[in-house]
Structure 1
Amino acid sequence: MKEIVLLCLLALCRAKPYEPINIMSFLKHHDIMLQDDAAEDDDDDDGNFLFPSMSAPPHDESCPFGCQCSLRVIQCSDLGLKSVPKNIPKDALMIDLQNNKITEIKENDFKDLKNLYALFLVNNKISKIHPKAFRHMNKLQLLYLSYNLLTQIPANLPQNILELRVHDNKISKVQKDAFRGMRALHVLEMSANPLANSGIELGAFDGMSTFYLRIAEAKITAIPKDLPPTLTELHLDYNKIGKVELEDLYRYKNLLRLGLGFNQIKFVENGSFASIPNIREIHLDNNKLRSVPAGLDTLKYLQVVYLHVNSIGSVGPDDFCPAERSVKKSPYVGISLFANPLKYWEVQPATFRCVVGRRGVQLGNFRRRK
């Protein structure tokens, strides 16, 4: 079940230009997860489903003015609201407040909503959230706060949240213990914030377990060394990282995918990848590398390497593949080297001996960048 949840969340958490969330599509996408959770809860008064039958009549008399209420889903998006509406039904499971003009989340805005599963506050003008705003929300698993004006991570977040999105806010500091106790958090999306390395306090990620973390489009100049060691995916694209040093990845031994594209990386210290032996994908495209990073040939499970749009002038016969075939457990399915000053006709055919098929390698012609 955890694998299904994680795949669903990863599919949704990629940072893209803002698009409103279609609640009906969202419900359909999470249908398996929601029904499974309810089936495991013997105390649920509604039987084996988290949401009641589609034939259940909506309770219009308890629905906030202007909103639509059905199946315990409260839809109040695109209404020009300046505050959270009053009298939200206490049995609400999902609240949609995206695309409004809400500026503040007050202490009692979500009072008594103990069954709430998902809360969407995307694309408002929220700059302040009361420290007790999310109290008693022991079942909240999805919290979307992207495209607001927050300057820091909200305090006292529910510890059972699976996915937290604070993409495109004004966060320049992550305080110590900001995520303390959030061991259920699978996905954390923090991209498009003015966050620098100096803004991440020591211990900011202590006491949490996260699989997917993305801090793209920020002001990161080096791979942070204090992130959760449980990470399987780390994405730091579109930053200002200049190099990868030996100790940068030492803490993240479980990494399966590493995204460092669109940075300013000129150098990867030899041995840097030895700490991530299970890595499957490495994205180093759109950087300033002059050679293929050392150590790729020692990664037994590496399948995808993006090195396009760099300054790589030559490729050696052992840059990607180990000398002994038995060492490589998973063959490459993709190596990109196009848009480099590389004379591809000089590359020895044996260089790609551990790649599946001809289409697994993209060389192309070098074109000078404009």
Structure 2
Amino acid sequence: MKILFLLFASVIICNALPFEQRGFWDFSMDDGLTMMRDEANETAEEGSGGPPTKRPPTVIPPYGLPPMDLCPFGCQCHLRVVQCSDLRLTSVPKNIPKDTTLLDLQNNLIKEITKDDFKGLSNLYALVLVNNKISKIHEKAFEPCQRLHKLYISKNSLEEVPKSLPKALVELRIHENKIKKIPKDVFNGLKNVNCIEMGGNPLENGGIESGAFNGLKLNYLRISEAKLTGIPKGLPTSLNELHLDHNKIQAVEMGDFSQLPNLYRLGLGYNNIRMVENGTLANMPVLRELHLDNNKLAKVPPGLPDLKFLQTVYLHSNNITQVGINDFCPTGFGVKRAYYNGISLFNNPVPYWEVQPATFRCVTDRLAIQFGNYRK
């Protein structure tokens, strides 16, 4: 009986068709993975401006030939994302799939970006080159990447901003390089960019040419940890956030913010500011957050009561010796539209027990005020 059963099972197995894998994910096409893959594909298509479509399955050609788009050796490829980080690469890998939307090359040893490194990558949306050894980028290297929105090239050895940046660029992060100069026309044509991060470069005021930011509609600009001795001129009037902390700025003068009416967050901490000229802050009517901590101010900056929307002021670690009853709040009613929810005054030589309670009459509650013992 057992012999007959084994013979019957052998016949069934021999007549069964072999498994045919039609796509790479056939072995694990559960509902969760399918949904995640479809969402990633739709996001990639929406970022490129076209209608959301699903990526066709990878078809393995007959006779054991490899597919057309192979993942570069050592890299990981999944859902149009090619990750080649931490591989000690000395150059951009070849044969990157043409439909790649995110290419991650951070933490490698790449020294140069050549003309053809991104050839054919017309769908590239984000490019990460952080923490390499890049000192040279060919002026036509980004020409194929006309849909590139995000370029992260921080922590390299660049001495200048790359030329011929993609016109579709929205976000540029190029901090911690060796850039000393911002030429007049380097950002020419970048009508969509709204964020530039270039802190940590040895950039001085004289290195920013007049008109360097012309035509830009930036929302966010950061030039921290540089060598600025004053507020840069000619900044985009569209700015909402400006961060200039960790520089060598000594004073804030009347005309510094006259062309920045939309600024609502200003970072000037960790400078050498001794004086804020009267009337300067009035040029920023919608300011909500002001950082002036770790400077050398001897008094509370004038003009704070006139800022209707100001909610947070950082003044700690200065040389402020007294706080007047009208330094923060207006004298009349109906002037200030937003109450303070944070005022920091700790680490100042001000006798906090002498400050009148009415000084903070336009503060939400007492926990919003931060005083502390001054220690020399």
User: Which bracket does the TM-score occupy, shorter chain normalised?
Assistant: 0.7 to 0.9
After TM superposition, which residue ranges in structure 1, 4 or more long, deviate above 2 angstroms?
Answer: 31-47, 55-61
CA deviation profile, 1:255-301 (whole Å, cap 9, x unmatched): 00000000000000000011100000000000000000000010000
1:247 corresponds to 2:240: no
Partner of 1:23: none
Contact 1:76–1:96 (8 Å) recurs in 2: yes
Match of residue 150, structure 1, among 138, 155, 158:
158
CA deviation profile, 1:287-345 (whole Å, cap 9, x unmatched): 00000000001000000000000000001111100011310000000000000000011
Instruction: Give the C-alpha shift of residue 57 in structure 1.
Output: 9.0
Partner SS state of residue 247, structure 1:
helix
User: Tell me, which stretches of 5 or more residues in structure 1 are unaligned?
Assistant: 1-30
Q: Following the alignment from structure 2 to structure 1, what is the Cα–Cα distance between the partners of residues 211 and 144?
A: 25
Contact 1:60–1:69 (8 Å) recurs in 2: no
User: Tell me, which stretches of 5 or more residues in structure 2 are unaligned?
Assistant: 1-37, 61-66
Partner SS state of residue 254, structure 2:
coil
1:327 corresponds to 2:335: yes
Contact 1:319–1:351 (8 Å) recurs in 2: yes
Contact 1:189–1:215 (8 Å) recurs in 2: yes
Structure 1 pair 35–278 and aligned structure 2 pair: CA distance change class (3 A): farther
Instruction: Give the C-alpha shift of residue 69 in structure 1.
Output: 1.1
Partner SS state of residue 248, structure 1:
helix
CA deviation profile, 1:18-55 (whole Å, cap 9, x unmatched): xxxxxxxxxxxxx99985674587844724xxxx59x9
CA deviation profile, 1:175-215 (whole Å, cap 9, x unmatched): 11111121211211101000000110111111111101111
Contact 2:69–2:95 (8 Å) recurs in 1: no
1:258 corresponds to 2:266: yes
How many residue pairs match? The answer is: 333
Structure 1 pair 143–348 and aligned structure 2 pair: CA distance change class (3 A): same
Q: Following the alignment from structure 2 to structure 1, what is the Cα–Cα distance between the partners of residues 47 and 108?
A: 36
Structure 1 pair 86–307 and aligned structure 2 pair: CA distance change class (3 A): same
TM-score calculated relative to the size of structure 2: 0.84
Q: Following the alignment from structure 1 to structure 2, what is the Cα–Cα distance between the partners of residues 154 and 39?
A: 27
Q: Following the alignment from structure 1 to structure 2, what is the Cα–Cα distance between the partners of residues 353 and 308?
A: 20
The Cα RMSD (Å) is: 2.1
Partner of 2:239: 231
Q: Following the alignment from structure 1 to structure 2, what is the Cα–Cα distance between the partners of residues 129 and 299?
A: 45
Match of residue 121, structure 1, among 129, 132, 138:
129
1:174 corresponds to 2:182: yes
Q: Following the alignment from structure 2 to structure 1, what is the Cα–Cα distance between the partners of residues 183 and 145?
A: 22
Contact 1:183–1:210 (8 Å) recurs in 2: no
Counterpart amino acid of 1:305?
Answer: V
Q: Following the alignment from structure 1 to structure 2, what is the Cα–Cα distance between the partners of residues 42 and 308?
A: 47
Q: Following the alignment from structure 1 to structure 2, what is the Cα–Cα distance between the partners of residues 139 and 154?
A: 17
Structure 1 pair 91–340 and aligned structure 2 pair: CA distance change class (3 A): same
Match of residue 134, structure 1, among 138, 142, 145:
142
Instruction: Give the C-alpha shift of residue 136 in structure 1.
Output: 3.2
Structure 1 pair 32–363 and aligned structure 2 pair: CA distance change class (3 A): farther
Q: Following the alignment from structure 1 to structure 2, what is the Cα–Cα distance between the partners of residues 223 and 309?
A: 21
Instruction: Give the C-alpha shift of residue 60 in structure 1.
Output: 9.1
Counterpart amino acid of 1:239?
Answer: N
Structure 1 pair 253–123 and aligned structure 2 pair: CA distance change class (3 A): same
Counterpart amino acid of 2:53?
Answer: D
1:192 corresponds to 2:200: yes
Match of residue 115, structure 2, among 94, 107, 111:
107
Contact 2:74–2:87 (8 Å) recurs in 1: yes
Q: Does 37-46 or 227-236 show the bigger shift?
A: 37-46
Match of residue 356, structure 1, among 364, 368, 372:
364
Match of residue 297, structure 2, among 276, 289, 294:
289
Q: Following the alignment from structure 1 to structure 2, what is the Cα–Cα distance between the partners of residues 33 and 253?
A: 39
Partner of 1:46: 53
Partner of 1:307: 315
Partner of 1:74: 82
Q: Following the alignment from structure 1 to structure 2, what is the Cα–Cα distance between the partners of residues 142 and 40?
A: 11
Contact 2:105–2:129 (8 Å) recurs in 1: yes
Q: Following the alignment from structure 1 to structure 2, what is the Cα–Cα distance between the partners of residues 240 and 216?
A: 10
Counterpart amino acid of 2:297?
Answer: L
1:220 corresponds to 2:228: yes
Q: Following the alignment from structure 2 to structure 1, what is the Cα–Cα distance between the partners of residues 44 and 89?
A: 32
Counterpart amino acid of 2:209?
Answer: E
TM-score calculated relative to the size of structure 1: 0.86
Q: Following the alignment from structure 2 to structure 1, what is the Cα–Cα distance between the partners of residues 332 and 50?
A: 57
Contact 1:225–1:251 (8 Å) recurs in 2: no
Q: Does 286-295 or 158-167 show the bigger shift?
A: 158-167
Counterpart amino acid of 1:193?
Answer: N
Structure 1 pair 308–280 and aligned structure 2 pair: CA distance change class (3 A): same
Q: Following the alignment from structure 1 to structure 2, what is the Cα–Cα distance between the partners of residues 56 and 300?
A: 59
Partner SS state of residue 146, structure 2:
coil
Contact 1:303–1:330 (8 Å) recurs in 2: yes
